[in-house]
């Protein structure tokens, strides 16, 4: 159990015998999938990936096996643009963990013949691809990506990523203009600051002013546009936002300077204006980046709908399905959904009766019966029989899409901390504008030449930007850092509550364990060797969709089974190398050789028997294995001073066993959803802040009761969205890291608010007294905002945490 998979970093199960050849050394890998992917990567000479990456690879993405359908021009339709000699498409690549993945994907595609150009963008997880359709088919390129462990699918470029890119580009363009402008205007301003009274020739001074005006105009008209439009929006909504004094300050300073330039006399503040705009924009850019990163991670979660569907053109007359891309489906068409498939769109059952698992969408774990007339939802799974479904809603209109949108909105909602800072800022802004007006009035009466500089100084210097920025920047940086560690924050308050959590309550199944059956132990009952038994079992179960079958379907060593007969409820019978075998329940497996069979005590785990005509060969003990990193994660949590509880609906003995292996004291077994909720509520009544970690389906009520809830990413995927955060990486060690990180974030928010407050209180009297020139005010205010932003960015520069890094140590730094 000590060794970790060379490819994905997961612990290697004791029973696994997978290896890859890395330059003559044999490194262990955890499963056949990782073995295939790692060999593909090394075989293509791309082993440098393992040196370059800074995060372990994700588990290999399953292959839908229907990539050839993408070669059909009708299916390619909207996804592929055709030129005379080449095709162009945008691919969405799923499973990328670090920039090295982008490098790897690019290399793998570029190595295919007939590829003209490919570039993988790590920021958006997309690839732009141009290829020669005569020399290579699209499916071959998609397969090349799947072979190295990612999932690529053509992507309609008109969707979300284009919006994000446009926003980023516009923000960068504004920064460029403001940055260039402020640098050069500063040059023109220096002589005026250095020269004494009357030392500068009047026409040279005028030249400098006009040159400054020419360069500041684009800064104000283009770069500062978001501040003006924001201020206008606030005023129309009868609110006072941070943009109002900013826009007012820029407008007053710029207007006065333009007037002075035309008059040819008086002071100009072009340099202050340009610098002010530039520094403010830089702060906002960081915010945009952090926000987009968090949103992108969410979008990937929503991709549950399959790529292809079986459409029946003339449904009642012919039942001959054709495979089409889901994007081609229209409302009113009929599709066939086989058992085990996912419904591609919302619809109504036309023919057939069966059951669907809607846990993904509704959180309901039990199968829902379906008969003609009942509605089905895209993203849910068909469990029992083939169903003919008339499509009612497709694509963005489906229930699934609306749930994803809901989650996106939740991600954008402002947490309490930010609302508090905003409210304080509103109150503050009103006083600042009032004070500026009063100061302008008095200075205008006493010394008219100093009225405008004073008003500008008051407006600019005391703008509570630092106050307004303090919490959002720190929180967005934290959210970005969480996402990098594999935790997607879906609700704004998650960071704050994680930092305050005193108790973490875990569910067992699917949280501390993998939530699926895995091979624990093999007992051999004849002279057939263990390896051989495993291979026969794998061959028998190769086609199985049953959870038990999947646990056993591994490396069959080239063995193939034929004459496969599935006996529901008993097992599988098939012929391998001419010998008949049975795998399944004891009585069934022993049935090939009539006679008395041994009796076993009913064990805690599921046991599957392999039998032949010669007798029983082996038994496989299957169980829900504890996650390899669970123990380490819990120890790290205790180091942080957090109390850990285990609540489970499972049998007492299984829970005790898990608790013993994890060194857990506080345990409750046999707890139903209601009991779990009471348990958490009673902790809360004692004044504890409770974080709940579950798989997101049957523990939805308790997740809602907890102050902050987390779901494991592998569970029912959409139900996760009811949790405040999702552990997408499925690595429990991320949890203590996240808590340590959240605590640091909260500390930094506190520092920022204190700093912003002290700065504003100190600078206000100076500005009112007219002791601050506008440039000094702009510098002071911008410096104060930058201090806040940089302080928040310290969170991002936290040491890159290797697997062994102690979160407790991180928390103290």
Partner 1 sequence: MDILYLLVPLSVVLVFLIGAVLWLALHGGQFDDLESPALRVLADDDGAEKPGRGV
Residue 14 C-beta: closest distance to partner 1, Å: 25
Q: Which is nearer to partner 1, 49 or 581 (CB)?
A: 49
Judge whether 320 and 433 are in contact, CB under 8 Å.
no
Among 36, 90, 142, 215, binds partner 1 (CB under 8 A): 215
Residue with Cβ nearer partner 1 (102 or 644): 102
Is 666 within 8 Å of 645 (Cβ atoms)?
yes
Number of residues that bind partner 1 (CB under 8 A): 46
Cα 534 to the center of its chain, rounded Å: 37
By beta-carbon proximity to partner 1, the closer residue of 126 and 698 is 126
The answer to whether 124 contacts partner 1 (rule: CB under 8 A) is yes
Whose Cβ is closer to partner 1: residue 222's or residue 757's?
A: 222
Starting from the edge strand earliest in sequence, which strands make up the sheet with 561-567, in order? 513-524, 615-626, 606-612, 579-584, 571-576, 561-567
Of the residues 11, 19, 122, 593, which one makes contact with partner 1 according to CB under 8 A: 122
Site for partner 1, residues 84 to 103, rule: CB under 8 A: 99-100, 102-103
- List Cβ neighbours of 327 (8 Å cut-off, separation of 6 or more): 77, 78, 79, 156, 395
Q: Contact with partner 1 (CB under 8 A): which of 2, 23, 237, 527?
A: 23
Q: Alpha carbon 285 to chain centroid distance?
A: 20
Stretch binding partner 1 (CB under 8 A), from 48-56, 231-239, 261-269, 750-758: 48-56
507 assigned to active site: yes
* Distance set, CA 245 to CA 31, 633, 779 (Å): 60, 48, 16
Q: Are strands 725-727 and 708-712 parallel, antiparallel or unpaired?
A: parallel
Binding flag, residue 52, partner 1 (CB under 8 A): yes
Residue number with CB closer to partner 1 (172 or 437): 172
- d(CA 321, CA 187) in angstroms, rounded, equals 72
User: Please, are residues 509 and 515 in contact by the beta-carbon 8 Å criterion?
Assistant: yes
Q: How far is the CB of 667 from partner 1 (least distance, A)?
A: 43
Q: Name the residue among 797, 793, 810 with its Cα closest to residue 474.
A: 793
Give least dist CB 169 to partner 1, A: 6
- Name residue 712's beta-bridge partners: 727
Half-sphere exposure at residue 262, Cβ-oriented, CA atoms within 13 angstroms: 5
Residue among 181 and 694 whose Cβ is closer to partner 1: 181
Q: What does the block give as tokens for 268?
A: 């100009």
- Residue 389: CB atoms within 10 A of its CB come to 27
Asked if 295 is part of the footprint of partner 1 (rule: CB under 8 A), the reply reads no
Question: Rounded to whole angstroms, how far apart are CA atoms 130 and 81?
Answer: 9
Q: What character string, x for contact with partner 1 (CB under 8 A) and - otherwise, covers 129-168?
A: ------------------------------------x--x
Task: Note whether 462 binds partner 1 by CB under 8 A.
Answer: no
Active-site entry in 271, 346, 507, 724:
507
Could you say whether residue 50 binds partner 1 (CB under 8 A)?
yes
**How are beta strands 387-393 and 503-507 bridged, if at all?**
unpaired
Q: Which stretch binds partner 1 (CB under 8 A): 210-218, 602-610, 727-735, 766-774?
A: 210-218
* Token pair recorded at residue 54: 């800074």
Cα–chain-centroid distance for residue 189? Answer: 47
Q: Which two tokens stand for residue 811?
A: 């928390």
Nearest distance, CB of residue 120 and partner 1, angstroms: 7
Q: Find all residues with CB under 8 Å of 567, minimum gap 6, and list them.
A: 573, 584, 588
| Structure-derived torsion over alpha carbons of residues 754, 758, 761, 763, reported in degrees to the nearest 10 | -130
User: C-alpha angle with apex 505: 499 to 507, nearest 5 degrees?
Assistant: 135
Closer of 103 and 442 to partner 1 (Cβ): 103
Where in 628-687 is the site for partner 1 (CB under 8 A)? none
Question: Coil, strand or helix: which one is 691?
Answer: strand
- For the bound state, the minimum distance from the C-beta of residue 197 to partner 1, rounded and expressed in Å, comes to 19
How far apart are CB 31 and partner 1 at their closest, in Å? 20
- Tell me the closest approach of the beta carbon of residue 285 to partner 1, in angstroms: 11
Closest distance of CB 411 from partner 1, Å: 22
**Which of 34, 67, 118, 120 forms a contact with partner 1 (CB under 8 A)?**
120
Binding mask 163-202 for partner 1 (x = CB under 8 A): --x--xx--xx--xx--xx--x--xx------------x-
Which of residues 108, 208, 501, 539 is near partner 1 by CB under 8 A?
208
Q: Tell me the closest approach of the beta carbon of residue 96 to partner 1, in angstroms.
A: 10
Does residue 41 touch partner 1 according to CB under 8 A? Answer: yes
Question: In the complex with partner 1, which residue's Cβ is closer, 188 or 588?
Answer: 188
Q: How far is the CB of 647 from partner 1 (least distance, A)?
A: 40
Q: Looking at 14, 74, 78, 204, which residue binds partner 1 (CB under 8 A)?
A: 204
**Contact in structure between 738 and 722 (CB atoms under 8 Å):** no
Q: Residue 226: which residues within 8 A CB-CB, separation 6 or more?
A: 174, 243, 284
Q: Which residue has the tokens 């284009």?
A: 162
Map the footprint of partner 1 across residues 567-586, applying CB under 8 A: none
Question: So which residues are the catalytic ones?
Answer: 507
**Which positions lie near partner 1, rule CB under 8 A?**
21-24, 41-52, 99-100, 102-103, 106, 120-124, 165, 168-169, 172-173, 176-177, 180-181, 184, 187-188, 201, 204, 207-208, 211, 214-215, 218
């Amino acid at each position: 159990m000590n060794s970790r998979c060379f490819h994905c970093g997961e612990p290697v199960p004791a029973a696994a015998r997978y290896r890859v050849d890395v330059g003559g050394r044999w490194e262990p890998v955890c499963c056949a999938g990782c073995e295939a992917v790692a060999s593909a990567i090394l075989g293509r000479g791309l082993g440098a990936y393992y040196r370059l990456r800074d995060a372990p690879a994700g588990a290999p993405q399953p292959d839908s096996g229907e990539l050839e359908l993408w070669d059909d021009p009708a299916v390619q339709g909207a996804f592929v643009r055709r030129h005379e000699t080449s095709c162009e498409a945008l691919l969405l690549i799923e499973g990328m963990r670090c920039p090295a993945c982008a490098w790897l994907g690019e290399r793998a595609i570029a190595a295919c013949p007939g590829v003209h150009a490919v570039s993988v963008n790590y920021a958006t997880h997309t690839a732009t691809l141009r290829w020669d359709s005569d020399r290579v088919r699209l499916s071959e390129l998609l397969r090349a990506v799947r072979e190295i462990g990612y999932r690529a699918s053509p992507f309609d470029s008109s969707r979300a990523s284009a919006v994000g890119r446009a926003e980023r580009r516009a923000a960068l363009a504004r920064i460029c203009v403001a940055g260039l402008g402020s640098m050069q205007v500063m040059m023109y301003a220096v002589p005026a600051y250095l020269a004494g009274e009357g030392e500068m020739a009047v026409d040279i001074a005028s030249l400098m002013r006009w040159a400054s005006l020419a360069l500041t105009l684009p800064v104000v008209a283009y770069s500062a546009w978001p501040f003006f439009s924001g201020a206008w929006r606030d005023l129309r909504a009868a609110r006072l936002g941070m943009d109002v004094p900013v826009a007012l300050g820029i407008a007053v300073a710029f207007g006065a300077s333009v007037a002075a330039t035309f008059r040819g006399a008086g002071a100009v503040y072009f340099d202050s204006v340009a610098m002010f705009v530039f520094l403010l924009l830089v702060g906002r850019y960081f915010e945009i980046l952090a926000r987009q990163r968090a949103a992108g991670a969410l979008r990937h979660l929503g991709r549950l709908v399959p790529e292809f569907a079986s459409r029946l053109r003339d449904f009642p007359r012919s039942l001959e399905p054709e495979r089409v891309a889901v994007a081609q489906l229209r409302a009113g068409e009929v599709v066939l959904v086989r058992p085990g498939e996912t419904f591609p769109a919302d619809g109504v059952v036309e023919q057939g009766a069966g059951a669907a698992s809607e846990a993904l969408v509704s959180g309901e774990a039990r199968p829902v019966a379906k008969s003609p007339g009942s509605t089905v939802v895209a993203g849910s799974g068909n469990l029992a029989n083939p169903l003919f479904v008339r499509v009612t809603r497709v694509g963005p209109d489906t229930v699934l899409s609306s749930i994803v949108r809901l989650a996106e909105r939740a991600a954008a909602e402002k947490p309490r901390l930010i609302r508090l800072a905003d409210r304080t800022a509103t109150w503050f802004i009103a006083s600042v504008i009032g004070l500026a007006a009063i100061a302008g009035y008095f200075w205008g009466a006493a010394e008219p030449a100093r009225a405008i500089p004073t008003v500008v100084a008051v407006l600019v210097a005391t703008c509570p930007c630092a106050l307004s920025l303090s919490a959002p920047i720190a929180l967005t940086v934290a959210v970005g850092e969480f996402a990098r560690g594999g935790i997607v924050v879906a609700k704004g308050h998650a960071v704050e509550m994680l930092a305050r959590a005193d108790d973490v309550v875990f569910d067992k199944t699917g949280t501390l364990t993998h939530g699926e059956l895995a091979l624990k132990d093999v007992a051999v009952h004849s002279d057939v060797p263990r390896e051989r038994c495993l291979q026969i079992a794998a061959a028998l179960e190769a086609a199985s969709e049953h959870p038990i079958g999947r646990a056993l379907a591994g490396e069959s060593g080239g063995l193939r089974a034929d004459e496969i007969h599935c006996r529901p409820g008993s097992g599988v019978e098939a012929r391998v190398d001419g010998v008949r075998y049975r795998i399944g329940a004891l009585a069934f497996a022993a049935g090939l050789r009539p006679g008395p069979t041994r009796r076993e005590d009913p064990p805690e785990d599921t046991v599957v028997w392999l039998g032949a005509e010669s007798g029983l060969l082996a038994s496989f003990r299957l169980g829900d294995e504890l996650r390899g990193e669970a123990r380490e994660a819990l120890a790290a949590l205790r180091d942080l001073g957090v109390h850990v509880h285990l609540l489970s609906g499972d049998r007492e003995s299984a829970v005790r066993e898990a608790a013993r292996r994890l060194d857990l004291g506080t345990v409750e077994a046999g707890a139903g959803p209601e009991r779990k909720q009471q348990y958490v509520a009673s902790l809360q009544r004692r004044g504890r802040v409770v974080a709940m970690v579950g798989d997101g389906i049957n523990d939805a009520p308790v997740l809602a009761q907890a102050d902050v809830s987390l779901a494991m990413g592998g569970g029912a995927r959409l139900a996760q969205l009811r949790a405040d955060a999702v552990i997408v990486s499925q690595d429990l060690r991320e949890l203590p890291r996240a808590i340590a990180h959240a605590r640091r974030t909260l500390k930094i928010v506190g520092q920022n608010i204190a700093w912003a407050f002290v700065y504003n209180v100190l600078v206000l009297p100076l500005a009112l007294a007219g002791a601050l020139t506008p440039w000094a005010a702009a510098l002071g205010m911008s410096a104060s905002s930058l201090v806040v932003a940089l302080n928040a960015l310290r969170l991002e520069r936290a040491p890159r945490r290797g697997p062994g890094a102690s979160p407790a140590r991180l928390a103290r730094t």
